[in-house]
Amino acid sequence: MFTIIICPVSTVKVDSHISRLTVFLNVLLMVYFLFTVASLAILVVAIDYGIRAMGYNQYSPICFIASLIIRISGMKAKMVDKAPKIFASRLGFICATLGFIFITAQLTFASILIVSFFVVLATLDSVFDFCVGCMIYNYLVFPFFNKA
């Protein structure tokens, strides 16, 4: 069933280890938010995802930390297509921004609900290398493009 999933494609490659660790560090920030309801934590996540959603990973503070950790650990780069990562970052930006807007508007339950959902998606990506963004792209975005 999942072998025919169509993801966005680009010629630019990124290191999968850095990408997955970046997402995992964001998951830690979101879990911190869920336990403390500290709006600054979800704001940092939203800003970080926004930077990466625009394709500027080099300016992402969390991506910078992740790349330092990967470099120190000595892991060899595993290059993957950047387009699915950008699409997933855009979805993450939407979720984190909504979480921040809801918590700012005193809609705590809605914020926790959105961020909890986002934590599940980000955990699937960072820990299990399962990109729900690709599934969303395959079934909700790709069918509306001209396939010619």
What is the pLDDT, as a whole number, of residue 48?
A: 98
- The identity of residue 145, as a single letter, is F
- The identity of residue 50, as a single letter, is G
What is the pLDDT, as a whole number, of residue 1?
A: 45
Helix segments in the chain, DSSP class H: 16-36, 39-53, 61-73, 82-104, 108-128, 132-136
- Beta pairing partners, 80: 14
Distance CA 96, CA 84 (A): 18
Q: Residue ranges per domain, the chain?
A: 14-144
What is the pLDDT, as a whole number, of residue 20?
A: 96
Distance CA 30, CA 112 (A): 10
Return per-residue pLDDT of the chain as tens, 148 residues: 455 555 656 678 899 999 999 999 999 999 999 999 999 999 999 999 999 999 899 999 999 999 999 999 999 999 988 888 888 899 999 999 999 999 999 999 999 999 999 999 999 999 998 877 777 777 777 777 655 4
Q: At what angle do helices 108-128 and 82-104 cross, to 10 degrees?
A: 160
- Beta pairing partners, 13: 81
What is the pLDDT, as a whole number, of residue 73?
A: 96
What is the pLDDT, as a whole number, of residue 96?
A: 97
What is the pLDDT, as a whole number, of residue 148?
A: 46
Distance CA 11, CA 22 (A): 21
What is the pLDDT, as a whole number, of residue 104?
A: 98
φ/ψ region of 129 (left if φ > 0, alpha if ψ in -120 to 50, else beta) reads left
- Beta pairing partners, 14: 80
Distance CA 95, CA 34 (A): 14
